[in-house]
Structure 1
Amino acid sequence: MQTLIKIFAIFLFYWIGEFVSTLMGGFVPGSVLGMVFLFLALQLKWVKEDQVDTPAKALTDNMGLFFIPAGVGLMAQMDTVRENWWVILVAVLVSSVLVIASVAYIQEHMERRRSK
């Protein structure tokens, strides 16, 4: 029974994220909003880590399974990928550089805060 409550807690945040995403017109995916809401709830101590640890570990241990539908979809659209490979390549390179730079900036900021 305890595990069902833990699973429900994770799905509750997912559903809240989907609801808010619908209200926003789908601008941000509901799953992303749900993760942000769960993160905030954990940081604000509204939800304790032991309330979501078991299903969260199971989901992250099997994360590779969630990429299978995306990979199949990509293979099904291979003609589109071939026609627009350079646009995809530029988007991947630019987004990778932005992510690396933002993570480095945040990490540096956190290191400075920690040392004070």
Structure 2
Amino acid sequence: MNYLKEFVILCTCLFLGIITKHFISFPIPEAVYGMIYLFIAFTLKIIKPDDVKKTSNGILHNLAILFVPAGVGIINSYDEIKGKTLVLVLVVVAGTAITMGLTGKIIELLQRRNNVR
């Protein structure tokens, strides 16, 4: 499958996510809704993972570029976050630990439910 067709599939899922976000006012990003639509398409076998494999891998290999705007935003906000470094580090560490713990527990529950061990 060519890159343009794969990219259109991914953008269509993202567009559906944007539309969903417009109608549903949950604090969930549009991209997450788009991933849900992509998952549904995979589950219903509307598309196969191989149909978007090359483009997805290309995006993943260049993912670092997407962090540049976030880094610039942090540098632009330096005056506001100056002196709060310890608090920010603690929040990031605590958030990471909580996320890892909850993810582990959810996987554990799902494995127990499916009797997979």
Tell me, yes or no, whether TM beats 0.5.
Answer: yes
Shift of 1:3: 2.3
Name the counterpart of 1:92. 92
Query: TM-score under structure 1 normalisation?
Result: 0.82
Instruction: Specify the alignment match of 1:70 in structure 2.
Output: 70
Match for residue 37 of structure 1? 37
Shift, 1:2, TM fit: 3.0
Residue type of the alignment partner of 1:2 = N
Aligned residue for 1:115?
116
Give, as a single letter, the amino acid of the residue that structure 1 aligns with 2:44: L
TM-score w.r.t. the length of structure 2 is 0.82
Identical counterparts, % of pairs: 24
Q: Distance in 1 between matches of 2:103 and 2:83?
A: 32
5+ residue gaps, structure 1, are none
Is it true that 1:46 corresponds to 2:55 in the alignment?
Answer: no
5+ long unaligned stretches in structure 2 = none
Kindly report the root-mean-square deviation, in angstroms, between the aligned alpha carbons of the 2 structures: 2.3
1:16-35 aligned at under 5 Å gives the runs: 16-25=16-25, 27-35=27-35
Paired with 1:10 and 1:42, the residues of 2 have a C-alpha distance of: 12
2:14 maps to amino acid: Y
SS at match of 1:27: coil
Q: What is residue 12 of structure 1 aligned with on the other side?
A: 12
Counterpart residue number, 2:59: 59
Q: Note the C-alpha offset of 1:86.
A: 4.4
Structure 1 window deviating more from structure 2 (24-33 vs 56-65): it is 24-33
Q: Which moved more, 1:40-49 or 1:94-103?
A: 40-49
Per the TM alignment, residue 114 of structure 1 is displaced from its structure 2 partner at its CA by: 4.9
Aligned length: 116
Opposite residue 12 of structure 1, the aligned amino acid is T
